[in-house]
Structure 1
């Protein structure tokens, strides 16, 4: 990983850690696999910190530009899966 996670300097340390956990969950979906519930928990917390659609798109687009991993596609796939399923991209 040769990139930085997008973040807002106005966030608390806890919020920064939780946003990083969300982006790590996206990475895990691409690099191995992640349980749907674990991913959705990280996504829901991310949405508490970044509630606006425009801000969500800005941060996830910035992450995708740096990492080539699409948070949008992982969220979209997660929403189609049943509880207990695993998310594996590619």
Structure 2
């Protein structure tokens, strides 16, 4: 991993941990696969911290540009799968 997670310095430590957990789940979806429900739970926590669609697009775009992993496509695919499915990008 040769990139940094896009973070906001105004977030609390707990919020930073939740945002990092979401980005790590996206990474795992590409690298080894994750449980669909676990990914969507971390996305829900992420959205509580980043409710603005424009801010979400900015953060996810920055993450995708630096890592090559698309949070948007990952969440979209997860929503198309059935419960308890394994998600692999």
Runs of 4+ residues over 3 Å off in structure 1: none
Q: 2:30 & 2:9 partners in 1: Cα distance?
A: 27
Deviations 1:29-81 (A, max 9, x none): 00000001100000000000000100000000000000000000001100100
Match of 1:81 in 2: 81
Q: TM-score, normalised by structure 2?
A: 0.99
Q: TM-score, normalised by structure 1?
A: 0.98
Match of 1:29 in 2: 29
CA RMSD of aligned residues (A): 0.3
Q: 2:79 & 2:22 partners in 1: Cα distance?
A: 16
- Residues paired across the two proteins, number: 89
Q: 2:84 & 2:19 partners in 1: Cα distance?
A: 23
Give unpaired runs (5+ residues) of structure 1.
Answer: none
Give unpaired runs (5+ residues) of structure 2.
Answer: none
Q: 2:40 & 2:79 partners in 1: Cα distance?
A: 9
